Amino acid sequence: MTKFADLHIHTFYSDGTSSPQEVVDEAVKCGLSTISITDHDTIEAIEFTQAAARPLDLEVIAGIELSSEMEGKDIHVLGYFLNGVGSLLLEELFKIQQARISRIKEMIVKLKGEGISDIDFDEVGSLTKSKSVGRPHLATVLLKKGHVGSLNEAFTRYLGEDCSTYVGKFKQTTPEAIKLIKNSGGLAVLAHPVVTNRDELIPSFVAAGLDGIEVYYPRHSQTTVKYYEGLAQKHKLLMTGGSDAHGQAKKDTFIGKTRIPYELIEIMKARLTNT
């Protein structure tokens, strides 16, 4: 019987709403044999998810979704099979998380300039179990306090990259994010290329050590999938995929919405041992 995997799942250790146990239960319920937790800029959920998965025979690949920036554009790089403990990775993640905290504080100050003065950092920060606080948490508080009518409106009016209250995260470039993953023993994969919309940079990412592209993704049409399969073949890249499930924080997707055959995981493992 073919086994299936979903390699892009968030927990409440970043901007998802599910606990590790809930993710594991849902993955088993929908028949997956393998998942990867890819929280934004934190690996805190991984050991809890692996512990919850062990009795249920669910494989959990240690993953991450690292933010990086090129010419002002936020570019997400997925890392798989990380060996993070005691490594440079934890040190770097600590710095990135501190930058996330300062940046949300700066955005709260800018919101004051727009007449929104009832947002407190602690309330925003309390929405994640880790230090990986982000715009979705600020959007949730803006919605709760009635400043916007939806999470999407929070992004179009205040938090989007084109808004005057937007503050960028930090200056880690995409090649640096790729190298951080590689130095942690992992495979680096460009997340949701259609959303990122910077395909012209892919050759430079390959030169920096990129291992794969997230070909299978809920928002990728059949044509898009074919296109990225071709691009992966051209650059000898892995093809990965996942749902980008965030629990209740993103209702247009869910665990198992995108699932890939286990053969692709075997190809990833083979690349890991050959590098």
Residue ranges that bind Zn ion, judged by CB under 5 A: 15
Q: Checking DSSP bridges between strand 34-37 and strand 59-70, what pairing results, if any? A: parallel
63-102 residues in contact with ligand AMP (CB under 6 A) are 67, 74
x/- track of binding to ligand AMP for residues 127-156 (CB under 6 A) = -------xxx--------------xx--x-
3-state secondary structure of 45: helix
118: which residues sit within 8 A by CB, 6+ positions away?
A: 145
Q: What is the C-alpha separation between 145 and 113, in angstroms, rounded?
A: 17
Provide, rounded to whole angstroms, the least separation between the CB of residue 265 and ligand AMP.
Answer: 24
Distance of CA 230 to the CA centre of its chain: 24
Q: What is the C-alpha separation between 199 and 47, in angstroms, rounded?
A: 34
Q: How far is CA 178 from CA 105, 119, 152, 198, in A?
A: 28, 35, 30, 16
Provide, rounded to whole angstroms, the least separation between the CB of residue 255 and ligand AMP.
Answer: 16
Q: How far is CA 95 from CA 42, 47, 130, 248, in A?
A: 11, 21, 13, 28
> Which is closer to ligand AMP, CB of 4 or CB of 13?
13
188-227 residues in contact with Fe ion (CB under 5 A) are 191
Q: How far is CA 18 from CA 10, 231, 253, in A?
A: 8, 34, 13
Question: What sections of the chain are H helices per DSSP?
Answer: 20-29, 44-53, 88-113, 121-125, 135-144, 151-154, 174-183, 193-196, 202-207, 222-234, 262-273
Provide, rounded to whole angstroms, the least separation between the CB of residue 78 and Fe ion.
Answer: 8
Provide, rounded to whole angstroms, the least separation between the CB of residue 32 and ligand AMP.
Answer: 22
76 binds Fe ion (CB under 5 A): yes
231-260 residues in contact with Fe ion (CB under 5 A) are 244
193 binds ligand AMP (CB under 6 A): no
169 binds Fe ion (CB under 5 A): no
Q: Which of the choices Fe ion, ligand AMP, Zn ion, none does residue 67 contact, using the CB cut-off of 5 to 8 A by kind?
A: ligand AMP
> Which is closer to Zn ion, CB of 41 or CB of 211?
41
Beta bridge partners of 65: 40, 78
x/- track of binding to ligand AMP for residues 8-47 (CB under 6 A) = -------x------------------------x-------
Contact region with Fe ion (CB under 5 A), list: 70-78, 123-131, 134-142, 144-152: 70-78
Provide, rounded to whole angstroms, the least separation between the CB of residue 267 and ligand AMP.
Answer: 27
From the number of C-beta atoms within 10 Å of its C-beta (0-12, 13-18, 19+), residue 159 rates as: buried
Provide, rounded to whole angstroms, the least separation between the CB of residue 103 and ligand AMP.
Answer: 8
User: What is the binding site for ligand AMP (CB under 6 A)?
Assistant: 15, 40, 67, 74, 134-136, 151-152, 155, 169
